[in-house]
Amino acid sequence: MRGIPDEVPGGDGPTRAEIDAFQTAARDLIGVALRSLDVLAGEVSLPQFRMLLVLRELGRCPSSHAAQALGLGPSSVTRLADRLHASGHLARGTDAHHRGVVTLELTALGSRLVDEVLDWRHHEFARILARLEPAERAATAAGLRAFHQVVGDGYAADLHGPVPL
């Protein structure tokens, strides 16, 4: 790899092998996330599923909040909501205090679909992790928690594109 020495001077920084391990882990984790979308079986598109995930996290909310969370413009969210409303995956409403505010929330059908995808991921991670020794699993989980503490919850918040998966 260009520009990255095998070891950073002083020995305190990451080595090329450590960085490569994280590159591989990123591909593996993205692979699990993408394979989990096979559960959708064409029922909704990836952008539509992203909206369902956001609504699961936010609960009933103004469409402007969903747009912000997705990094999309209002018209894009309206188009996504139109399709998801027509398919029965989300419900539209209005804010009791501001009738001009359109709210969005998951229906039972939308919740079921999100649950199926997340359940698939849960079982797939359990299957994969079962192949590690208990001490390796514990060390890996501790390492990932430490990595997340450094990265933080908001690291990908301002990204536009296929986030969240």
Q: What is the pLDDT along the chain (165 residues), one digit of tens a residue?
A: 455 556 555 668 899 999 999 999 999 999 998 899 899 998 998 889 999 999 999 999 999 999 988 888 989 999 999 999 999 999 999 878 887 889 999 999 999 999 999 999 999 999 999 999 999 999 999 999 999 999 988 777 666 544 555
DSSP 20-66: HHHHHHHHHHHHHHHHHGGGGTTSS-HHHHHHHHHHHHH-SEEHHHH
The total of other beta-carbon atoms located within 10 Å of residue 30's CB is 12
Q: What is the pTM of this model?
A: 0.80
Helices and strands (H and E) in the chain: how many: 6, 3
